[in-house]
């Protein structure tokens, strides 16, 4: 087990290149199951979740060739010899559910372990299952597994999703590509990752209109072919490093990204007094050394404020002038970073799904415990701003979603290192 040790108080200065998006790359990898030809993905991030997805696809029979230097992954699902996604892999990474739609569509069957709960919430998958039923799949839940069958193939239909779900939209969009006829996905998620997946599927021969709006229309086709696709920049990594610059009162040029990926977060950062200036390669984040003003945020589906940036924004708000009300509407248990921030001196009171953050002058370093991916990085941000030493335990969560986090921050002057416990 490793820990991360940070000596805080250094304003970050320099440049950080943003990696490809984890939450775009994972569904793109499962799209390879839809064709027997190679799918070449470039700008791939090197992360633990990507390695888990590789292991899952490998045991389905997908041939994988990974060129880490070129950040390129080639996936060829020539033959799929196993349609079961086992508990041991699914329990480690819930995004494994993304093989369900493609496997049923291509092979007419799939057995996927039920993912179970997760630190941030119950995380049901009813919308994935009812959408596949609407497309004609028979679904049974047995022995902890989803057993899905569509021996005669899926048939397009209109699916109205009761709640906006990112991975359900992705699963159903992929399944509909090989269904007979037209599928309309109503109340679809509009995240940039949905547009990225649709762009890749269209390069593979799919007919999709409306990705990025709340209605996606897919005309099914008998087969898809191979393609080459570049993964979009990670908008959550982008927002995280913008907040790292702000919390340390530093100045960082973020490259290989764009402000357009974080419309609401960038507006709130600007309201808080942070300067964000677009450049040819991304944008510059700077602080004038003045106070950070308290601003309220409420998490919502895209284009609203991303739940995956809530913990990082709360870290920033701990040292604001005034107060900030942070409301979480997506996950019922996503305030686990609050007690840890309070151990560092933060003044936060939780009332149901809202947290009232009263700004203090400085955080103080302390030993803290990471509970999930975004909570971990929120503690890194707090540690970078705090006076003294912060020791973060359970940092394996970080490696699921942040590529070379210590290197990137050290490159901007942070005193951060990984140590063996």
Contact residues: ligand EPZ, CB under 6 A: 23, 26, 95, 121, 123-128, 163, 165-168, 307-308, 330, 373-374, 401
Distance CA 224, CA 127 (A): 25
Q: Please say which residue, 144 or 322, places its beta carbon nearer to ligand EPZ.
A: 144
Any idea which residue has 């630190």 for tokens?
Answer: 119
CB 25 within 8 A of CB 45: yes
DSSP 348-382: EEEETTEEEEE--S--B--EEE--SHHHHHHHHHH
CB of 136: closest distance to ligand EPZ in angstroms?
19
Catalytic residue among 107, 118, 378, 412: 118
> b or e along 344-354 (b: 16 or more beta carbons within 10 Å of the residue's beta carbon)?
bbbebeeeebb
Residue 194 or 292 having the CB closest to ligand EPZ: 194
118 classed as catalytic: yes
Q: Which is nearer to ligand EPZ, 229 or 253 (CB)?
A: 229
Residue 405 CB, nearest approach to ligand EPZ (Å): 14
CB of 121 to ligand EPZ, least distance (A): 6
C-beta of residue 270 within 8 angstroms of C-beta of residue 276: yes
Sheet with 63-67, strands from edge to edge, namely 63-67, 72-76, 39-42, 227-230
Tell me how far CA of residue 194 lies from CA of 168, 174, 248, 261, in angstroms.
10, 11, 33, 13
Q: How far is the CB of 151 from ligand EPZ (least distance, A)?
A: 24
CA angle 358, 260, 271 (to 5 degrees): 30
- Using only the alpha carbons of the chain, give its radius of gyration: 21
Least Å from the CB of residue 123 to ligand EPZ: 5
Give the residue with the Cβ less far from ligand EPZ, 130 or 362: 130
Residue 284 or 312: the one with the smaller Cβ distance to ligand EPZ is 312
Q: Which helix (H) or strand (E) holds 243?
A: helix 235-247
Residues known to be catalytic: 118
């Amino acid at each position: 087990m490793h820990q991360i040790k940070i000596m805080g108080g250094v304003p970050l200065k320099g440049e950080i290149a943003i990696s490809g998006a984890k939450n775009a790359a994972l569904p793109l990898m499962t799209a390879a199951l839809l064709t027997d030809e190679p799918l070449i993905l470039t700008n791939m991030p090197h992360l633990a979740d990507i390695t888990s997805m590789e292991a899952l696809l490998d045991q389905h029979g997908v041939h994988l060739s990974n060129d880490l230097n070129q950040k390129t992954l080639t996936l060829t699902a020539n033959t799929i010899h196993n349609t079961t996604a086992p508990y041991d892999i699914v329990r480690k990474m819930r995004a494994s559910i993304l093989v369900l739609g493609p496997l049923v569509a291509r092979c007419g069957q799939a057995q996927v372990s039920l993912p179970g709960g997760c630190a941030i919430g119950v995380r049901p998958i009813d919308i994935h299952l009812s959408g596949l039923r609407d497309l004609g799949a028979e679904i049974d839940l047995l022995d902890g597994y989803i057993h899905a069958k569509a021996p005669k193939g899926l048939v397009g239909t209109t699916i109205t999703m009761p709640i906006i779900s990112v991975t359900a939209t992705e699963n159903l969009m992929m399944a509909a590509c090989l269904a007979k006829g037209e599928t309309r996905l109503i109340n679809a998620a509009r995240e940039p990752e949905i547009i990225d997946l649709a762009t890749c599927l269209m390069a593979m021969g799919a007919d999709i209109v409306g990705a990025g709006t709340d209605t996606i229309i897919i005309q099914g086709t008998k087969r898809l072919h191979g393609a080459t696709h570049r993964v979009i920049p990670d908008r959550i990594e982008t927002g995280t490093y913008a907040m790292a610059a702000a919390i340390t009162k530093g100045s960082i040029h973020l490259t290989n990204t764009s402000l357009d990926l974080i419309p609401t977060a960038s507006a709130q950062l600007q309201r808080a007094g942070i300067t964000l200036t677009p450049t040819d390669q991304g944008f510059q984040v700077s602080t004038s050394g003045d106070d950070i003003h308290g601003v309220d945020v409420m998490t919502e589906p895209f284009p609203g404020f991303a739940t995956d940036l809530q913990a990082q924004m709360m870290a920033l708000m701990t040292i604001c002038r005034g107060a900030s009300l942070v409301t979480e509407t997506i996950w019922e248990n996503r305030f686990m970073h609050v007690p840890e921030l309070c151990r560092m001196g933060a003044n936060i009171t939780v009332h149901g799904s809202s947290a009232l953050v009263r700004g203090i002058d400085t955080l103080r370093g302390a030993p803290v415990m990471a509970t999930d991916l975004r909570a971990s990085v929120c503690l890194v941000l707090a540690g970078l701003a705090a006076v003294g030493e912060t020791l973060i335990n359970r940092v394996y969560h970080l490696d699921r979603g942040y590529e070379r986090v210590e290197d990137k921050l050290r490159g901007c002057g942070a005193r951060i290192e990984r140590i063996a416990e």
